[in-house]
Structure 1
Amino acid sequence: MQGETPAPSEPSLPEGRFDGREAFEGIVRAALENASRQGWRELVLSDPDFADWPLGERASIQALQAWSASGRRFVLLAQRFDVIERAHTRLVPWRRMWDHIIECRAVRPEAGSPAVPSAIWTPDWFAHRHDPERSRGVCGFDPRARRELRETIDELWRAGRPAFPASTLGL
């Protein structure tokens, strides 16, 4: 009808190559915003330390909160989690609250094993930074690329150890 303003469009998931930190941060935000909307049962984030991810932003936590529900699984794979604890302080209380759906593992880099990829994996879509230093990579819906990324993550997951606990018990 004439005179009506179209409803704002939902954030869509990008596809293709990306280049630069701003582009990568936008991809992470779009993934988190789409997780709830598309009803993803599992969300896997992988990075050596998540230092340059926008995980501590209020909007990221709100998106994760909207996504959190019964039957969901959130996986974090890293070499180290100390950066998350220092730089993404809003994520830490959210992690405590949703401990029952979150699994975290740390992987020590070893000769002959693949490096921890900087990636997002979902049942339908993925993003993979092949060059984290320059934030260059590719994202999309390609089943083969998504499967290969998941196989790498699963291999590292098996070699990892539990990390980033929701709480620390002590004397």
Structure 2
Amino acid sequence: MPVSPNLYEGLEAPLPQGRFSGRTQFQQRVRDAFATAAREGWREITISDANFHDWPLGERAVADALQAWSRTGRRFNVLARSYDEVVRRHARFVSWRRTWDHIVTCRACAAADPLDIPSAIWSPGWTLQRWDPERCTGISGSEPERRVLLGEALCGWLRNKSAPGFPASTLGL
């Protein structure tokens, strides 16, 4: 069986719409979102969570999708309360972030209540939002009003409630 030169060929199912429940469904929707972003060339992605501890960011499939998605002119925004779990659990993501620092903006809101920070993915065409991160329940979809409301909420956090965080490298003297 020949290997396709396009890693994402055949994965053309539309992104899931509607409610999800459970960590397995949540993580699969995250994987699917990044694979779709790579395949469709999304211009911008924003991800947000208090600590990303249960996101599949360290998985090879996610790292490969992000690598395929990355190019100049793209924007990747990340919002977290703390990046300690990202560094501890997601080495591939940390390496990708370091390589693509010029398109990645990371913001931190250390003083925020972890339950107040949205757990979400936003793109111009599709969103995912966990309402209950502990039970991994939420909704995803491409409805315009959902995208606008989540986009505005995340912009408010990024602009008004956060500061630069998670530098690509730590420079010392």
TM-score under structure 2 length normalisation: 0.90
CA distance in 1, matches of 2:134, 2:104: 27
CA distance in 2, matches of 1:54, 1:12: 20
**1:109/1:115 contact within 8 Å kept:** no
CA distance in 2, matches of 1:88, 1:35: 19
Moved runs in structure 1, 4+ residues, more than 6 A?
none
Q: 1:51 aligns with which of 50, 53, 58?
A: 53
TM-fit CA distance, 1:109: 4.2
TM-score under structure 1 length normalisation: 0.91
**2:20/2:26 contact within 8 Å kept:** yes
Paired letter, 2:102 = H
Q: 1:65 aligns with which of 64, 67, 77?
A: 67
Partner of residue 3, structure 1: none
TM-fit CA distance, 1:90: 1.0
**1:11/1:33 contact within 8 Å kept:** no
Cα distance change, pair 8–93 in 1 and its aligned pair in 2 (3 A): closer
SS, match of residue 76 in structure 1: strand
CA distance in 2, matches of 1:122, 1:161: 21
Q: Tell me the alpha carbon deviations over residues 99-119 of structure 1, each in whole angstroms, 9 at most, x when there is no partner.
A: 0000000013458xx911000
CA distance in 2, matches of 1:164, 1:81: 6
Partner of residue 4, structure 2: none
CA distance in 2, matches of 1:116, 1:9: 31
TM-fit CA distance, 1:151: 1.0
**1:118/1:129 contact within 8 Å kept:** yes
**2:81/2:112 contact within 8 Å kept:** no
Q: Tell me the alpha carbon deviations over residues 35-82 of structure 1, each in whole angstroms, 9 at most, x when there is no partner.
A: 021111001100000000000001100000000012000000010111
How many equivalent pairs are there? 163
Cα distance change, pair 104–9 in 1 and its aligned pair in 2 (3 A): closer
Cα distance change, pair 161–32 in 1 and its aligned pair in 2 (3 A): same
Paired letter, 2:74 = R
Identity %: 52
Partner of residue 170, structure 1: 172
Q: Tell me the alpha carbon deviations over residues 15-37 of structure 1, each in whole angstroms, 9 at most, x when there is no partner.
A: 00000000000000000000021
Instruction: Decide which structure has the larger Cα Rg and report it.
Output: 1
TM-fit CA distance, 1:10: 1.9
TM-fit CA distance, 1:12: 2.6
CA distance in 1, matches of 2:68, 2:52: 21
Paired letter, 2:59 = E
Q: Can you give the 5+ residue segments of structure 1 that lack an aligned partner in the other structure?
A: 1-6
TM-fit CA distance, 1:9: 4.6
Q: Can you give the 5+ residue segments of structure 2 that lack an aligned partner in the other structure?
A: 1-8
